[in-house]
Structure 1
Amino acid sequence: MKGRVPLVRALASLWMVIVLAACGSGPTSGTTDKPFAGKTINVLSWEGYQEPDWVDAFEKEHGVKVQVTYAGSVDEMFSKAASGSLNYDLIFMDGGSVTRYNKLKLIRPIDVGKLKHYGELIPNLKSINDKHVVSDGQTYAIPFAWGSLPLAVNKDKVKEPVTSWSALWDPKYKGKIATIDDANNQVATTALLLGYPDPYNLTDEQLAGVKKKLIEQKPFIRSYYSGFEDGKNLMASGEAWILFTQGPTMITDLAEQGMNVEEVIPKEGALVWIDNATIGAKTENPDLVHLYIDYLISSEVQARLILKTGYGGINGQSVSQLTQEEAKKAHMDDPSYFDRLVYVAYPESFEKRVKLWNEVRAQ
């Protein structure tokens, strides 16, 4: 969230802190029984997921310490977890990576019966996620946050409706298209456009088709960008009229700056990442980690996460703690939104995709 926080938001934040400390769906208030007092939860996480807004209350209530190590990329996350230099109790990762960790026995099954908020997960989001995190009847990950990768369209410049990823190949917008410098997402999205049934399990022939299509696109591209601010600046300056975004928050930020910008989920679908919480295989305090996960997926914490980061939440009841505008901004007002999204899964070969993208950029 950017900009000055108005008084009403400050009061709301104060109220939420009180809720987190006292509400029955968070840690139990007033008890002198702290069976985990003195314990530490070692967490491997993305930035923004372990904020004092919600971590402090849990630490105080249970007399524990949440020790966080941050990673800046998927590869760094995996490297830290696999190195064994520190046994992480809780590891956050996109659902598509869960199989990779599970194959190396870096994570352990989660007892969903110990999670009283598990039944509050948004049903179709949970259904999408379960296909990638449930194996042999055991659940290895619990969703925590999500975000889609839609198109942004400047409606002052592009008058006709944009309905397909093919807009990124349209000669009408030559020099006014910006797209992400990201091998995996570029390959998957182009595969959707080409009608391939599984954008994360491509044959060599299909990968060749993707490469050819991306090379055809190059003459129309104004810029390949790599960061949120870079992408937003291209739109705000008018250099780009159509943008392959890194998330809806880019669009809402531009709208708040006064741009007439529209989010588009193309007819072929758009990608969605769902980050999950997993339990490290060598944790010595599984009951404490289950307790913490349950706290993190509670509606109170999820509402705080949405307001703090702009990401989508996974607890359907968190909507009741948001204004109508806040819920709409995070796509928490429309459960059917997930039905138009394609899960970011583990691909057939990261190496092949990176090589393909490098060859496209070198043309």
Structure 2
Amino acid sequence: MHMISTADEKRHDERRISAALPRARLAARGYCGVLLRVALSVFLCVGMLSGASAEAAKKVLHVLAWPGYADADVVKTFELRYDVKVEVTLVDSDEALWAQMHAKNAPPFDVLAANTAEIQRYSRAHLLAPLDLQSLPNTARQLPRFQARASIEGIVSDGKVYGIPFTYSSMGLIYDRKQIPVAPRSMRELWNPRYRGKVLDFNSAQHNFSFTALALGYRDPFNLNDTQMRAIAHKLVELRRNLLTYYTLPEEATAFFVQHNVALMFGNYGTQQVELLRRAGADVGYVIPDEGVLAWLDCWSMTRVAAEPQLALAWINYMLEPDVSRLLTQRQGLANTLTAPAANSDNARILWIGPVENIQKREDLWARIASGDRSERF
């Protein structure tokens, strides 16, 4: 039997210990690494949860507006300044605006942009809250005509202000200079057979009945009797022969105009559409017809259900800052209420849109017209 000496045993133990040390160090490092990774993960998760909690804890302002009124960078500046989150919902017609205000599956809106006729409609329906002008110091920057709020129909009721003017435009004719070298002088040109399949119209009951009333020579396009309504319905059915299609958003109209060689368009968004078309390379002109033109004045209002009234007022005041107003004009081609536009000799023929005689009747008739109902059925 081979006997191991004490010295051999000692050397053997030393070698075994030496061999085990690196493994122990590696194991320790691995264990520490696991602990470090776990700690880091916990730290990150806590940080993320804290960030998410902080984000969730921020006040939220719900804004209902038209395209171009609340661009992402404009919204971001407001969010940073007031440490809030702004959620913007865009609409493409007065009808869509009304529907959004009555939607049951969405958070209530705090502020909205609407024309003066709609502001009057909403305030009469008790959907809007009167505005505290002391909280809107930037209104002092506005042109005198917009500070004279009592003279602007629709925004003042019982001495209380329900809307602050923001932007405006006429709703004239936009035409392709190459196809129409001489500017059209009448809204009736939309019905000219030479433009069959080359006309665009805005998809709106109220405005279509009103501008057609002007084309037919009716004195008051906002208060039509049954005979006039029937005549206009027939005329709008007739207009379908010339239409390429109806549009809603200005960007949509621009795409149709350029891609389908459109000749003539009812410009619901006015100068905003002209700006978009020219940026898209279209050679277009803009004209106010001889019989007159509809025009809208959009205002900011606060709803009665605004969760944070002071935040809503801060938004309206922010919209009147010079930088914001300047961007509206530069980007959208729309007039603002702080700086005077170039002189316009056509102002005498501009009719600010007002409340109409029967909104529901117009919308019911328009639904039938737009869907293709025959003229003899009206």
In the alignment, structure 1 segments of 5+ residues that lack a partner are: 1-36, 320-331
| Seq. identity, % | 26
| Conserved? CA contact 2:183–2:287, under 8 Å | no
Distance 1:87 1:258, change over 3 A: closer
The answer on whether the counterparts of 1:50 and 1:68 sit within 8 Å (CA) in structure 2 is no
Shift of the 181–89 alpha-carbon distance from structure 1 to 2, 3 Å rule, reads closer
Would the aligned equivalents of 1:222 and 1:239 in 2 still touch at CA under 8 Å? no
Residue identity matched to 1:133: I
Moved over 6 A (4+): 126-129
State how far apart, in whole Å, the 2-side matches of 1:83 and 1:257 are: 35
* Correspondences of 1:1-363 after superposition (within 5 Å): 39-62=59-82, 64-72=83-91, 73-82=93-102, 86-124=107-145, 130-219=152-241, 221-227=242-248, 228-229=250-251, 231-236=253-258, 239-247=261-269, 248-283=271-306, 285-316=308-339, 332-334=341-343, 339-360=348-369, 361-363=372-374
Displacement after TM superposition at 1:188 (Å): 0.9
Q: Confirm or deny: 8 A CA contact 2:172 2:294 kept in the other structure.
A: yes
The whole-number CA distance in structure 2 between the counterparts of 1:38 and 1:232 is 38
Q: Deviations over 1:23-66 (max 9, x none)?
A: xxxxxxxxxxxxxx96543433344433342333333334x314
Q: Offset at 1:309? A: 3.6
Q: Does structure 2 retain, via aligned residues, the 8 Å contact 1:53–1:304?
A: no
| Aligned equivalent of 2:10 | none
CA–CA distance in 2 between the matches of 1:181 and 1:88?
24
Deviations 1:73-109 (A, max 9, x none): 5444434434676454323223221123222322111
Q: 1:125 to 1:237 in 2, by over 3 A?
A: farther
Tell me by how many angstroms 1:281 deviates. 1.6
* 2:276 and 2:332 in contact (8 A); partners too: no
TM-score, normalised relative to structure 2: 0.70
Query: Secondary structure at the residue paired with 1:362?
Result: coil
Deviation at 1:237, TM superposition (A): 5.1
Q: Distance in 1 between matches of 2:214 and 2:252?
A: 25
Instruction: Report the counterpart of residue 20 of structure 1 in structure 2.
Output: none
User: What is the count of residue pairs matched by the alignment?
Assistant: 311
Q: 1:156 to 1:71 in 2, by over 3 A?
A: closer
8 Å Cα contact 1:125-1:338 kept in structure 2: no
Amino acid at match of 1:292: W
Q: CA deviation at 1:354?
A: 2.6
Contact between 2:288 and 2:346, CA under 8 Å: does it hold in 1? no
Length-normalised TM-score, structure 1: 0.73
Give 1:352's aligned amino acid.
K
**Distance in 2 between residues matched to 1:218 and 1:283, nearest whole Å:** 42
Contact 2:275 2:332 in 1 (8 A): no
Q: Distance between the aligned counterparts of 1:52 and 1:105, measured in 2?
A: 31
CA distance in 1, matches of 2:206, 2:110: 29
State the SS of the aligned residue for 1:156. Answer: coil
Relative to 1, partners in 2 of residues 1:156 and 1:43: Cα closer, same or farther, differing over 3 Å? closer
- C-alpha distance in 2, partners of 1:224/1:105? 36
